[in-house]
Structure 1
Amino acid sequence: MDRDKKERLEAKGWKVGTVSEFLELTPEETALVEIRLALSRTLNERRQRLMTQAELADKIHSSQPRIAKAENGDVSVSIELLIRAILATGATPQEIGQVIASTGSIIA
């Protein structure tokens, strides 16, 4: 949000902050959410280039609805399943590490 818009909203009595502030997330919780979303986006991008959700589901012995949930960042999907699915698209552990590192999450 640009500075002018923020100032206008605050002048009208609105409180402006981050999602993490609103939800009162710890730095660790914020980092975990960012990592999960980055993995979900990566899975979706890689899978779309290579195969259907059903094909990926067969490959990792899961279901198409579960893959859809994984790609949408559903919290019911484990990070383990996200990583298994990304690996099944041909990604290396190093590439997955780069995805995680790219979130820029710093836990103080």
Structure 2
Amino acid sequence: MKADKQKKLEAAGWKVGSTAEFLELDTAEEMLVNMKLAMAAEVKSLRTQSGITQQDLAKRLRSSQSRVAKIESADRTVSFDLLIRTLAELGATRSQIGKIVGSRKGSPQKPVKRTRKPLSGQKQ
């Protein structure tokens, strides 16, 4: 976000922060989310570069087109196993997959501390 826009928002009473801060993610949770997003983006990139439709990829995975769409959007129901299997199906090597999850996209920008709040009705 541009600094001038951030200043205007803050002057209007808005609190500006990162997605991780908003969602109260700790460092490990933020890292997992970023890794999943990076892998999903790579699935879509490899699929489109190869000229393969979501339907074609679904057949190769013995799945459905809607499941491939969920994979590409990093839906919360998509496991890391499925993301890795999909990348492998698209020809990614172990080394390439390692680079995807090890990229800056897969790492939090800064540590985020969080104290867990008890669920309603639970003692602290």
Q: Residue in 2 aligned with 1:23? A: 23
CA contact (8 A) 2:36 2:106 kept: no
Which protein has the larger Cα radius of gyration, Structure 1 or Structure 2?
2
TM-score (norm 2): 0.80
Residues of 2 paired with 1:9 and 1:55: CA distance? 45
TM-score (norm 1): 0.91
Offset at 1:104? 5.1
* Runs of 5+ unmatched residues, structure 1: none
* Runs of 5+ unmatched residues, structure 2: 112-124
Structure 1 vs Structure 2 CA RMSD: 1.6
- Runs of 4 or more above 2 Å deviation: none
Q: Residue in 2 aligned with 1:36? A: 36
Residues of 2 paired with 1:13 and 1:61: CA distance? 50
Higher helix share: 1
Q: Matched residue of 1:5: which SS? A: helix
- Aligned residues: percent identity? 44
Residue 59 of structure 2 corresponds to residue 58 of structure 1 = yes
Offset at 1:6? 1.4
Which amino acid in 1 is paired with 2:90?
Answer: T
Which amino acid in 2 is paired with 1:22?
Answer: F
Aligned length: 108
